[in-house]
Amino acid sequence: MAKLLRDKNILIMGISNKWSIAWAIAKACYEAGAKLFLSCVDEKTKLSVEKLCEDMIGVELLICDVSEDEQIEAMFDDINKSTDKLHGVVHSLAFAKREELEGKYYDTSRDGYLLAQEISSYSLVAVSRYARPLMQRCGGSILTLTYLGGERAVPNYNVMGVSKAALESSVKYLAADLGEYGIRVNAISAPPIKTVSARGVSGFTDMLKGYDERVPLKGIIGQEEVADTAVFLISNMARGITGENIHVDGGYHILGI
């Protein structure tokens, strides 16, 4: 079969190490023929991501801390120096203070709430705004990552759940706005995956056990399954899909209990 993403320019934001969902998506997009732009939060992360992708041809590494609009704008200016067409943007980043991901949601602090919203949710709005000029030339696909805790009250997910709810709602508003430019906006709802950020969360391993026992599709759904769906959503095969949240979670979200 012809490669699904041949000659497509794709920006992937949020790689931090080899367990990152964004890294699995980068590998899958590369295999599908894409030219990659990868953004990291800082210089230190960029150095380690450089090692990860040393065997990939034509990859451009960028730095972008999404807490500043100027950095987002500068990143798209940089991309614009290499190409005037961007076919895909993958937003795979989130942040919350560790202490907010345990205990009671009502104990969430004001600054913890605002920080989680800013990095995990608002960043998609700003990224979409600065991406539009490059994406509207070719039609494009914006993709973000979410989790069931945005739709249901999942113990400990707390402030991240509320940020994911805002993110999922943003996907719909952005899809409505950007449709006229031929730009699609979708989310993938991933299962709990043992990434570095997840592993530090208290009770995460116990939660995974409960998940594995109940999930309809046995055999662990992880980064690769999410990444293959990402390739599909960016590709022309998904040209009729926008504003959608596709659950790549082995069917866990259909369960009543």
- Which residues are annotated as catalytic? 147, 157
Is 201 a binding residue for ligand 1JT by CB under 6 A? The answer is yes
Size of the site for ligand 1JT (CB under 6 A): 16
| Nearest in space to 150 (alpha carbons), one of 198, 192, 115, 183 | 192
Per-residue tokens: 241: 């899909």
* DSSP helix/strand/coil, 35: strand
Tell me which of 63, 207, 220, 241 binds ligand 1JT, using CB under 6 A: 207
Considering the rule CB under 6 A, would residue 248 count as an interface residue with ligand 1JT? Answer: no
Site string for ligand 1JT, 154-173 (x = CB under 6 A): x-xx--x-------------
State how far the alpha carbon of 181 is from the alpha carbons of 87, 132, 169, in Å.
Answer: 12, 8, 20
Which residue from 113, 108, 192, 109 is spatially nearest to 149, judged by alpha carbons? 192
Which of 121-129, 179-187, 196-204, 249-257 is the region at the interface with ligand 1JT (rule: CB under 6 A)? Answer: 196-204
Q: What is the DSSP letter of 119?
A: I
Minimum gap (Å) between residue 111 Cβ and ligand 1JT: 15
> With binding defined as CB under 6 A, does residue 198 bind ligand 1JT?
yes
Give the sheet arrangement for strand 9-13, strand by strand.
60-63, 35-40, 9-13, 88-91, 140-147, 183-190, 245-247
Alpha-carbon distance of 61 to 47, in angstroms, equals: 9
What's the closest the beta carbon of residue 97 comes to ligand 1JT, in angstroms? Answer: 8
The rounded Cα 98 to chain-centroid distance in angstroms is 20
In the shown chain, the binding pattern of residues 115 to 154 toward ligand 1JT, with x for contact by CB under 6 A and - for none, equals --------------------------------x-x----x
Query: 84 with 134: CB under 8 angstroms?
Result: yes
Q: State which residue, 200 or 216, has the beta carbon closest to ligand 1JT.
A: 200
What type of residue sits at position 213? Answer: E
Which residue from 36, 94, 187, 221 is in contact with ligand 1JT, where contact means CB under 6 A? Answer: 94
Binding residues vs ligand 1JT (CB under 6 A): 94-96, 101, 147, 149, 154, 156-157, 160, 192, 197-198, 201, 204, 207
